[in-house]
Chains A and B, each alone.
Chain A
Amino acid sequence: MEISFWNKQAETMDRLALEKIQLQRLKETISYALKTHFYKNRLEKIGLKSPEDIKNLSDLKKIPYTTKDDLRENYPKGLLAVAPEEVVRIHTSSGTTGIPTVIYYSREDLNNWTENLARGIVATGAGKKDVFQNMMSYGMFTGGLGLHYGAEKVGMTVIPIGGGNTKRQIQLMKDFRTTVLHITPSYLLHIHSRLEECAARVEDLALKKAFIGAEPHSENTRKKIEGLFNIDAYNSYGLSEMNGPGVAFECVYKNGMHIWEDGYITEIIDPKTGIVLGEGEEGEVVFTNLIRKATPLLRYRTRDLAFIYKDTCPCGRTHRRLSRITGRSDDMLIVNGVNVFPSQIEEVVMRIPQVGTNYQICLEKDGALDRLIVKVEIYSKLFSGDIKELDNLKSRIKEDLRASIIINPHIELHEPGSLPVFEGKAKRVVDNRIKL
Chain B
Amino acid sequence: MKITQISIFLENRKGRLFDVCSLLGQKKINIRALNIAETEEFGILRIVVDKPADAVKALKENGFVAHLTDIVAVEVADHPGGLAEILKILNENNVNIEYMYGFVERSADKALLVFRFDDPDKAISVLTENKIKIIGSKDIGGL
Residues in A lying within 8 Å of B, measured CB to CB = 378, 380, 383-387, 390-391, 412-418
Cβ of B63: which chain A residues have Cβ within 8 Å of it? 415-417
Q: Distance (Å) between the CB of A372 and the closest chain B CB?
A: 15
Instruction: Say which size band chain B's interface belongs to.
Output: 20 to 34
Cβ of A414: which chain B residues have Cβ within 8 Å of it? 11, 42
Are B67 and A413 in contact, with the CB atoms below 8 A?
Answer: no
Are B65 and A391 in contact, with the CB atoms below 8 A?
Answer: no
Q: Distance (Å) between the CB of A322 and the closest chain B CB?
A: 42
Are B9 and A383 in contact, with the CB atoms below 8 A?
Answer: yes
CA distance A390 to B8 in the complex (A): 12
Are B42 and A390 in contact, with the CB atoms below 8 A?
Answer: yes
Are A383 and B10 in contact, with the CB atoms below 8 A?
Answer: no
Residues in B lying within 8 Å of A, measured CB to CB = 5, 7, 9-11, 13, 37, 39, 41-42, 44, 46, 60, 63-69
CA distance A415 to B44 in the complex (A): 11
Task: Decide if the interface of chain B is mainly helix, strand, loop or mixed.
Answer: strand
Are A378 and B44 in contact, with the CB atoms below 8 A?
Answer: no
Are A415 and B11 in contact, with the CB atoms below 8 A?
Answer: yes
CA distance A192 to B41 in the complex (A): 30
Cβ of B7: which chain A residues have Cβ within 8 Å of it? 383-386
Are B44 and A387 in contact, with the CB atoms below 8 A?
Answer: yes
Are A418 and B37 in contact, with the CB atoms below 8 A?
Answer: no
Are A387 and B69 in contact, with the CB atoms below 8 A?
Answer: no
CA distance A208 to B89 in the complex (A): 71
Interchain CB contact (< 8 A) of B67 among A384, A391, A412, A417: A384
Contact status of A391 and B39, CB under 8 A, knowing A380-B65, A416-B63: yes
Are B67 and A415 in contact, with the CB atoms below 8 A?
Answer: no
Contact status of A415 and B41, CB under 8 A, knowing A380-B65, A385-B46: no
Residue in B5, B66, B67, B69 with the greatest tally of chain A CB atoms within 10 Å: B67
Interchain CB contact (< 8 A) of A385 among B44, B60, B64: B44
CA distance A413 to B13 in the complex (A): 12
Q: Distance (Å) between the CB of B5 and the closest chain A CB?
A: 8
Interchain CB contact (< 8 A) of B64 among A384, A413, A415: A415
Are A385 and B11 in contact, with the CB atoms below 8 A?
Answer: no
Are A378 and B65 in contact, with the CB atoms below 8 A?
Answer: yes
Residue in B42, B44, B66 with the greatest tally of chain A CB atoms within 10 Å: B42
Can you sample 13 A-B contacts with CB below 8 Å?
A380-B9, A383-B9, A385-B7, A385-B68, A386-B7, A390-B39, A390-B42, A412-B11, A414-B42, A415-B9, A415-B10, A415-B65, A416-B65
Are A418 and B9 in contact, with the CB atoms below 8 A?
Answer: no
Are A413 and B69 in contact, with the CB atoms below 8 A?
Answer: no
